Amino acid sequence: MLKRIGKIWRWTLRILIIAAIVLAYHNYRYEINDAFPVEDLGVDVWYSFKGFIAQFAVVPEYERKAVAKPQEVVQEMKKEEPEIVVPEIKPTFVAKQKWFDEEIVYGYDNELNFVSVEREHKKILFYYSQGGFLERIVAIDRTMEFHRNERVELTKIMDNNKETQIKYDFYGRPSKVDFSDGETLAFEFDGFNRLLKFRRGAGIPVVFFYRDNKLVSFTKASVVTELSFNADGLLKGALTGDDHLVVNYGRDNLLSYFAGTKYGLAETISYNTNDVSLVSNKDNAVFTGDSEQVRFKAFDLYLGCTKFKRIPVVFDPLAYVLFNSYFKEDIIGYLVNNYVCEVVFDRDF
């Protein structure tokens, strides 16, 4: 009997030790991965293993016969590689924005990718990969390059000589962003791939809460922001103490009105036959263009950069919730959009 109790006790102790290790790793995950990149190593080992297995793929007999034996190698002098010339872009579709005393011209290609913008003081060009991912932004005094790995994950952003690195966990979710100035963003997800925690540097984390698989609030320290959504999953309200945000939608779930102490004065949006207009006491903007779809595209860019992202920070939880619910963009899309907003609207995140 004593032997059996001793055996049960030993197994219980082992389970408790394993649970303590798992809990410690969960609580100090980012510090551990900074010192020793466990998750990055796991991902690299997995893809290295897949590459190793691929070497043993069977080649059909007719393919093996078609492969000629290597002949004597003749060395050739290396030619100097020509300087890379960034091609000029001629947009297929155009939208125009009347904003105060300025006209902004937005250009789009056949796939409705945003490829150019012309303002009074600058012209900016946007280049895409064959897969449709933003690859390069070229402005007068600024060039940005977006690098992706073989899994099409955005891993590095070069902003002139400033480098930003993005790391992912084993499941391909962004876990950490390292900026060239030393600032960091850390993200943590639950088992359903929902954003669970966000932390900037060594600051207090923002924790997201869900009920019935729906986001209901997020907290930072003791400050709670309550959220409400409509039946289509679009944010319709946010409340933090006495500060509030109210959002209304019209036909086809197009944003028509937002107001509240969080976003200042009330602003109304009208989708007319030939234009889209935003009217408020401090900002009037009118969009015209080749088609309704192009007008909407240009207006959405303006809306996300100048209205959703009011606070000049790299990652604002409320702006992200609004951005994610309305544009259906994830964290990487939000961060890439920051760079677009910076060059187009002179925003500083």
Domain extent for 6 = 2-38
* Cβ-Cβ contacts under 8 Å for 103 (sequence gap 6 or more): 96, 97
Q: What is the pTM of this model?
A: 0.76
Least confident of 155-169, 215-229, 258-272: 258-272
Per the structure block, which two tokens stand in for 308?
Answer: 């959703």
Phi then psi for residue 57, to 5 deg, are: -60, 140
pLDDT at 41: 58
pLDDT at 27: 58
Q: Mark whether 27 and 122 lie in a shared domain.
A: no
Q: Mean pLDDT across the chain, nearest whole number?
A: 84
pLDDT for 70 beyond 60:
no
pLDDT for 306 beyond 70:
yes
Q: Mark whether 23 and 151 lie in a shared domain.
A: no
Confidence of residue 264 (pLDDT cuts 50, 70, 90): low
Kindly state whether residue 83 falls inside one of the protein's structural domains. Answer: no
DSSP 151-197: T--EEEEEETTEEEEEEE-TTS-EEEEE-TTS-EEEEEE-TTS-EEE
Kindly state whether residue 164 falls inside one of the protein's structural domains. Answer: yes
Q: Mark whether 23 and 136 lie in a shared domain.
A: no
For residues 129-146, average pLDDT: 94
Helix axes 331-345, 292-303, angle to 10 degrees: 90
pLDDT at 284: 87
pLDDT at 63: 40
Q: Mark whether 109 and 8 lie in a shared domain.
A: no
Of residues 104 and 68, which shows the higher confidence score? 104
Per the structure block, which two tokens stand in for 291?
Answer: 């088609």
Kindly state whether residue 65 falls inside one of the protein's structural domains. Answer: no
- Looking at residue 17, its amino acid is I
Kindly state whether residue 184 falls inside one of the protein's structural domains. Answer: yes
Q: Mark whether 7 and 103 lie in a shared domain.
A: no
Q: Mark whether 34 and 97 lie in a shared domain.
A: no
Q: Measured between alpha carbons, how far is 307 from 268 in angstroms, rounded to an integer?
A: 12
Closest to 249 measured CA to CA, from 333, 338, 322: 322
Kindly state whether residue 22 falls inside one of the protein's structural domains. Answer: yes
Kindly state whether residue 88 falls inside one of the protein's structural domains. Answer: no
* Buried-state track 220-249, b at ≥16 Cβ within 10 A, e below 16: beeeebebebeeeeebbebbbeeebbbbeb
pLDDT at 152: 95
Q: Mark whether 186 and 279 lie in a shared domain.
A: yes
pLDDT tens column, 178-221: 999 999 999 999 999 999 999 999 999 999 999 998 999 999 99
Q: Mark whether 236 and 307 lie in a shared domain.
A: yes
State the residue for tokens 């796939």. 111
Q: Mark whether 11 and 121 lie in a shared domain.
A: no
Domain count, the chain: 2
Q: Measured between alpha carbons, how far is 303 from 254 in angstroms, rounded to an integer?
A: 12
Q: How many percent of the chain have pLDDT more than 90?
A: 63
Kindly state whether residue 110 falls inside one of the protein's structural domains. Answer: yes
pLDDT at 30: 52
pLDDT tens column, 15-59: 878 866 766 665 555 556 555 555 555 555 555 555 555 455 444
Q: Measured between alpha carbons, how far is 80 from 15 in angstroms, rounded to an integer?
A: 63
Confidence of residue 87 (pLDDT cuts 50, 70, 90): low
Q: Mark whether 332 and 209 lie in a shared domain.
A: yes
H-type helices in the chain, by residue range? 2-27, 29-35, 38-54, 61-66, 292-303, 317-327, 331-345
Confidence of residue 140 (pLDDT cuts 50, 70, 90): confident
Per the structure block, which two tokens stand in for 269?
Answer: 């949006």
Kindly state whether residue 195 falls inside one of the protein's structural domains. Answer: yes
